[in-house]
């Protein structure tokens, strides 16, 4: 609907209000085929931008997922999710390499350290078959 971002609308119709899933398509189909049963929910519910905005304002992603990672708090959320994963089953307890995780999180130049140990990524020249000057003049 007007003024609402695509992803917000997609999350709303697929998670918050699943009865409105592809409502706009079902509505168009019902209008084109007058003999078809009216399968689309009422426009007051699924086509009401104010209602969608209100639903999204009240929506808490944490209520619909075991673990949710937000971009704004990515590191802390990812850490909590990995901790929850390790607690989820005795079979996976201790399966996260916390030393590597913390090194990545704290910017310990893990790639350089691994490269010194012979375990890291190849250099740019090795990956791309030569220097920049060789490919671009």
Give the pLDDT confidence of 25-59 residue by residue, as tens digits.
766 666 666 555 555 567 778 888 888 999 999 99
pTM of the model: 0.46
CA–chain centroid gap for 39, Å, is 30
More confident residue, 102 or 118: 102
The CA-atom distances, in angstroms, between 36 and each of 22, 25, 31, 97, 114 are: 17, 13, 9, 57, 64
Q: Do 3 and 49 meet the contact criterion of CB atoms below 8 Å apart?
A: yes
Q: What is the DSSP string of 23-90?
A: HHHHHHHHHH-TTS---SPPHHHHS-HHHHHHHHHH--GGGS-SS---GGGHHHHHHHHHHHHHHS-G
Contacts of residue 23, Cβ cutoff 8 Å, sequence gap at least 6: 13, 40, 41, 46, 47
Dihedrals φ, ψ of 59, to 5°? -65, 130
More confident residue, 118 or 49: 49
* Residue for token pair 């220097």: 131
Q: For residue 125, name the pLDDT band (cuts at 50, 70, 90).
A: very low
Q: How many CB atoms are located within 10 Å of the residue 71 CB?
A: 6
């Amino acid at each position: 609907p007007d003024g609402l971002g695509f992803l917000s609308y997609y999350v709303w119709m697929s998670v918050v209000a699943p009865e409105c899933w592809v409502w706009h398509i079902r509505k168009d189909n019902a209008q084109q085929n007058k003999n078809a049963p009216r399968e689309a929910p009422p426009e007051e519910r699924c086509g009401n931008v104010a209602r969608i905005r209100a639903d999204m304002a009240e929506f808490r992603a944490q209520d619909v997922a075991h673990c949710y990672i937000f971009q704004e708090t990515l590191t802390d959320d990812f850490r909590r999710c990995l901790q929850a994963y390790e607690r989820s089953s005795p079979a996976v307890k201790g399966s996260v390499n916390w030393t590597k995780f913390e090194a990545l999180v704290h910017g310990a130049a893990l790639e350089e350290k691994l490269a010194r140990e012979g375990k890291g990524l190849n250099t740019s020249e090795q990956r791309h078959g030569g220097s920049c000057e060789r490919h671009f003049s």
